[in-house]
Structure 1
Amino acid sequence: MNLEALNKVADAMVQPGKGILAADESTGTMGKRMEAIGVENSADNRRAYREMMFSAKDAMAYVSGVILYDETIWQDAADGTPLVKKITDAGSIPGIKVDEGTRALHGAKPGELITTGLDGLSKRLPKYHERGARFAKWRAVIDPTNISHAGVLANAHALARYANLCQEFDIVPIVEPEVLMDGDNDIDTTYAVTEWVLKETFQQLYFMNVKLEGIVLKPNMIVPGKKAAKQASVDEVAQKTIKCLMACVPAAVPGIAYLSGGQSDELATAHLSRMNEIGGFPWQMTFSYGRALQAAPQKAWSGKAENIAAGQAAFLHRARMNGLASQGKWNEILERQHAA
């Protein structure tokens, strides 16, 4: 393990003004996205869409890294150039999603999930590194309305084992313990569960000898569930998220790259910007967004070659807004000016 090299990549992933594009949707998830815009979910269409994104050099200037799905990392662009080279040519770092989804966790509460993919991971990682991946991602899923110690411990331990393996092969692990925001839980429940999950995750990372200088944390923000009777202001979310992470995340971690978790494009941007405006924390805080970066470009593109420029323009807008948010410089006036 080359910790200096890992730290250099981790720092680059969270550099001010840039963030991570999560383009690692599975074939099934991409099918839902394609169906929504009336496009066939074929390998060629998935490749064409992602090529449009990775070739948008103006937008990619705000993207430090791209998380890829297994299919995508092996695909070539229409001109024969590997998509990973399109990413590096744009000045970004290729990464790879290595988990293999979730299954029910035996012995926990009914409905609790464990993420799978550790079997054979030590054989996959060197191949991904050879292809150009310099970081990886593994997502644990925690439902704050249905939670047990067994579930939290099992998912934290799996994250730590994954992170240990990644560092062995000189790949920076994105550690993603996601507390879901789909339920009716209030913001204080999200806070308490997130604190529990983060503390257990860092305990397991310590036990597995994971070097914190060579990871990036991808947590949820502290928001109430979407079905909660009372929602929260941007300022309350920012304040409580900072407070929770300050209580749980060691300063040795280079950066925090938040997931959007189904928030609207603009709200995810507003929350991130307010946190960076407040400041006072030891890490860089940026974004690792999927839908919050891609929903607008997908709609503008709609599978038509003549819409590539429109899709790239929509991507540029959202990437630029989040780049500003990663520095605490976004506001609604800028949002409207650039949108126009």
Structure 2
Amino acid sequence: MKVLWNEEIVDESEVKIDIEDRGYQFGDGIYEVIRIYDGYMYMEKEHLDRLWVSAEKIRMTLPFTREELSQRLHRLAQEVGLENARVYFQVTRGTATLKDAVDSAFEEYLKDPKNFIYAIGSVVGPHPFPKMVRDFQSIIGNEIKEQTHHRFGKNPDYIVACVGGGSNAIGAFTAFLNDSDVKLVGVEPAGHGLETHMHSATLTLGKPSQIHGMACYVLENEAGEPLPVHSIASGLDYPGVGPQHSFLKDLGRVEYSTATDQECLDAFMTLSRVEGIVPALESSHAVAWAIREAPKLSKETMIVVNLSGRGDKDSDYVAEKLKL
């Protein structure tokens, strides 16, 4: 069976949909089946009308117009050579990623901006939200500077933090942006590998574009639509990134690197066993970078790894993943 997936027509065996997709988990989606007779899509308009009514009933925003969906269906039928067949198409609310959360928050806010407040903990979205979150999170960097000066009498050599939307990283970096002696490193999710589609390495492989009312780097297809992304850490699976991080990348002030899911799991277990500190899977990306890069540096090098969260929420998942 052939499938239209990520704008490409591929064999069914090549399609990989995240198990966290809400369609799997909760049946949170809608579908239609159109019968094709002698190459003609029977009652196509009625099926599409019903799809849009269904979407409205469950308050789902469809990511395409009727015309765009119709073009996709006809492209699939034509390229596969369907003469007498059924075309099944399904739309779910997605993988409950950070992008999905931002989509839902904006959707609700725009319906009733007088009685709703848009609030987000990441440095994404239109002005002034990235600036507001940066300023609130800057306490992280201020504390790092105060504590390292108090204990060691100087700035650290490196500050490392994970980057999805980028709130904890921008909070850790801001106090040191003008300190050229401090190297700043943001670590993105390489997922199953940068050579696959299963990653969220926006600054590493993305391109300048727009998403959620901001100009930033985005992982997108040729049509300019955000790509599905993946990270073992739910807080990092976002196809965009905060505009401040995009600017700092272009300036060359911050180095952006990556860590795979496996490196992240290894770092999670290593820090838990060696130090008794259980990091969140998000933070484990930064820990993975430090474990990988520290042996290449002198013993006098001071690295501060920002642990943006505790791993209690991830412990059951990691145990199941590693069959512990």
Higher-helix-fraction structure: 1
Q: Same fold judged by TM-score > 0.5?
A: no
TM (normalized to structure 2)?
0.27
Q: TM-score, normalised by structure 1?
A: 0.26
Larger relative contact order (Cα-Cα within 8 Å, sequence gap ≥ 6):
1
Greater CA radius of gyration, 1 or 2? 2
Give the strand-richer structure, 1 or 2.
2
